[in-house]
Each structure stands twice: as C-alpha cells, then as structure tokens.
Amino acid sequence: MTPAQSTPMTDALTPDSNDSASFDSHFRDPGEAPAHPLAWALGQRAPLIEALRGLFSGPQAGVQLRLWCFLELASQPQGRLSRDDVNRLFHMLLPDSLDSALKRLRDLDLLVWDATAQDYHLSALAQQVHGLLASLSTPPQGDATDEMADLLAQVAGAQQLGLVNANQLKHLHAQLARLHDEFGEAIASGSEARLRAAQPRFDRALQLVDRAGQALTALIRAEHEDTRLEREARAIGQAQARLLAMASQFTRALQQADRQRLTLGSTGLTTSDVRAWLQSHPALHELMGEALNLPVRPVLVSQHDLVDVAEGEFERDRPNPNQATGLPPATQAAEGALDTLSLPAELGGLIDQLARWHTQAPQQERPLADAILGGRFAQAAYRMQLMPLVGDAQAQTLKGLTGDLARAPWRWAFEARHQTTTDEAVALISEGVISPRPVDDTPAP
C-alpha cells in the first residue's frame, strides 16, 4: 500500500462532519427512524450508548486502562469501596493515571462518589454496561466458535429465566449461517490443509449446537405472544439441522483427502507430513542451499556428431508410404495333435479286475490284498488310495473311470491289524475283504 492510500489511525478518531447531526437526519424520511424496531430500541438506550462512547473514546492505552479499572471494580464482592480500598486495589498504578480513570468513570455516571459515606459504588447504568462487557474479561480461546458459544449461553440462560428476545435469536441465526458458509467453503475447496484447520472448529460448533438443542427445542415448543420470537426460533432450528447435516459431507471430504495422500517409499512419511513440515519451516529459501549459485552449463555438440546422426537417420529403413501392401495370402494350418491328460493305467486295471470277479463269482468275497498287490510299491499304494472310491455315493454321479470305479458292485472293509505278504515290493498290508454289494445298494445304471 502506498502512503497516498494509507489512512492514519488518528483519522479514525477525528470527528466526522455528520457527528453533530441527529440520528433522524441521516434518513431520507426522518419519520422512518422510530418506525424501525432496532432503531427504536437503540434510541431508548441513549444513556448506555453514551457511557460506552465515553469508555472507548481516546487513545488505545487510555481505553484499555479505563476498561481494566471498570471491570476490576465491577468484579469486587463489596457493594461499596472506600478510597483506601481503591488505592490498595490499584496499588500498581501511578496516582495520576488512577485519578484520570476514576474521573472519567465518575463523569460517565458509572462510578458514584458518596460524599457523606466517603466511599464509591457502581450505578445502575454501570451494571448494564458490565453486562455488555463481561465477555472481555474472558481470555480468548482462538476459536471462531467463541462468539457462537457466547450467544448460545445468552439464549440458553435467557430461556431459563424467560427473558429471551427476538434480537438475540437473530444474532445467533446469523452466526450459524456464517459458520455454515465457512465450513461449506472448506468442503468445496477440497484442500486437506483447510479441512484439517476447520475440523476442530466444526467439531466445537456441533458440540455447542447439540448442548443448546434442549433450550432451542423449548423455545420452539413454548407459546409466545411475540410472533417474531417463534419465527426466529424455528429459523434457528432449521439452521441447526443444516449444520448437523453437514457432518456427513465433512467426513466424506476428509476421507477423500486421505485417499489422495501418498506415502513416500518405505519411510512412512506422507505428503501431509511433508506439507506440515514445509509450513512450519522458518525459512524455505534456505532449503535450496547453494543450488542457485551454480551457473547453467550448456552442452555443445560438434558438427561431426551432427552429421553422423543425420546420416544414420537417412540410411535407416523406413516403409514406403506409396507402396500399398495387402493382407498376406491364405495358408493351410499345420496338422497337430491335442494332448489330453490320461489317468494312470492302474485305475483302469482295478476296474477290469473287479468286473472279472463279478462275472466269475459275483457272490464270493475276495481278500483285499488280491486287488492291491502287484507291480511296484507306488502302484500298490495308488490302488490302496483308490479303494475309498468303491461304493462312494457322491463319486457315483461322476463320469469317466472314477465314476465307473465308484459304481462297481463291490464294497470293502479294513481290519485293525496287518498281515505279511509274499510280494517283493510290499512287506505288510492291512487285512481286509472286498465283498459283493447287496442288490438294494447297487446303483441304477
């Protein structure tokens, strides 16, 4: 900003040309001022406005001193204070500064000196001013929802005492609308930094609205003589519902920001961590170090290298765009054979052996070893593994050799002991028999 555009702070304290005019003279029609409810209410509080104007006039240091003295006097539990009590209360102040502050409070009719009792006491006007300025004595929390917290506390307390008015509800409604727009802009931006910064304020706002919900519900359900009060109470209920409905949108926006976060290798660091570190770095220009001090070094190519590259490009074979090439001629496919997976020969041999036994002696039991032994140990072990398929109900529905083995008219049984064999590959085998299956158990073909 140039000096010609700047405005000194002292200009804001200089009297305006319209300050001497009356409030009604600022309207096109002077009769419209009393007709407006808020303008009429301000006109009825002229002494209070004059007291506030006197407190806040002058330099900042003087205003801060007067406010501190006034709030400190209003917080004392004694109804009356002698001059000695006042001196002890403000013993850290210079006498001239204390006398100047007390004189301004007396001139504004906020502090009354009783010459008979030789003591000070606060006036009724001071009680009203203190009610307006009590929030200044609370340290700021740095939260944008502090104003809404104060308004909700005023509305909830006034509702319990039956002193709530439409103006308080209007201010609360306006603050809810401003918070809704602020959080809506944070969601629409899609910025993770802005969403993270707004999340504590959003959670705080939801908590405050939820706690004040009982008072707002009582305002809506209560019968009021003032129709504006009921209308504003319902408008606040709608604003409260809009703010609560935004919770799901805020959660989805945060989840979208989490999905866009990248992890840098196996370090565990994310892009959010890098952004937070860069934002907290005191001097980002120092990260470059001496990188900007290095001059640009161009790479020069000799003429011989350029000629060699050009010759290579010219000599490279390229398709002739003028020569039309059609599809290749048709050729006969070469003959081939499709190899399929074949089952071991032992499976077919076991099925044939069972079929021969059924043909030769269908009612004769056979030792289990007669169906298992023969050939190498692996072949005998494979036949032993196939025996559970004989008579299996589920395998009978299969097609192929496995289903044929399951549908064979035999059943088998093991014994809990072993017998020696004369086979070269198998020394011991479990005792068992293969017996014909009853006619009722034989599956239908």
Q: DSSP class of residue 334?
A: P
Phi/psi at 418 (nearest 5 deg)?
Answer: -115, 160
Cβ-proximal residues to 180 (8 Å cutoff; 6+ apart), any chain: 239, 242, 243, 246
Tens of pLDDT, residue by residue over 394-418, are 888 888 888 888 888 888 888 888 8
48 within 8 A of 125, measured Cβ to Cβ: yes
CATH number corresponding to 27-137: 1.10.10.10
Can you tell me the distance from the alpha carbon of 363 to that of 340, in angstroms, rounded to the nearest whole number? 38
Can you tell me the distance from the alpha carbon of 122 to that of 126, in angstroms, rounded to the nearest whole number? 6
Which amino acid is residue 362, in one-letter code?
Answer: P
Is pLDDT of 165 > 70? no
Tens of pLDDT, residue by residue over 58-109, are 888 888 888 888 888 888 887 788 888 888 888 888 888 888 888 888 888 8
Token pair belonging to 189: 């931006």
- The reply to whether domains 27-137 and 146-259 share a CATH topology is no
434 within 8 A of 365, measured Cβ to Cβ: yes
Candidates 367, 353, 373; CA nearest to 421 is 373
Torsion angle, CA of 46/51/52/57, rounded to 10 degrees?
120
Residue position matching structure tokens 């050009």: 310
Average pLDDT over all residues of the chain: 76
Can you tell me the distance from the alpha carbon of 300 to that of 311, in angstroms, rounded to the nearest whole number? 19
For the beta carbon of residue 375, count every other beta carbon within 10 angstroms: 16
**Residue scoring higher pLDDT (425 or 440):** 425
Burial class (CB in 10 A: 0-12, 13-18, 19+), 428: exposed
Can you tell me the distance from the alpha carbon of 283 to that of 289, in angstroms, rounded to the nearest whole number? 11
Burial class (CB in 10 A: 0-12, 13-18, 19+), 104: buried
- Give the architecture (CATH level 2) of 146-259: Up-down Bundle (1.20)
Instruction: Report the share of the chain in percent with pLDDT over 70.
Output: 74
Tens of pLDDT, residue by residue over 362-384, are 888 888 888 888 888 888 888 88
**Residue scoring higher pLDDT (215 or 130):** 130
Band (7; pLDDT cuts 50, 70, 90): very low
Band (11; pLDDT cuts 50, 70, 90): very low
Is pLDDT of 422 > 70? yes
Band (21; pLDDT cuts 50, 70, 90): low
Which sequence spans correspond to the domains of the chain? 27-137, 146-259, 345-441
Is pLDDT of 16 > 60? no
Can you tell me the distance from the alpha carbon of 120 to that of 78, in angstroms, rounded to the nearest whole number? 10
**Residue scoring higher pLDDT (303 or 241):** 241
Tens of pLDDT, residue by residue over 115-140, are 888 888 888 888 888 877 777 776 66
Can you tell me the distance from the alpha carbon of 295 to that of 366, in angstroms, rounded to the nearest whole number? 98
Q: What is the DSSP string of 367-385?
A: EHHHHH-SS-HHHHHHHHH
**Residue scoring higher pLDDT (250 or 138):** 250
Residue position matching structure tokens 């200044």: 136
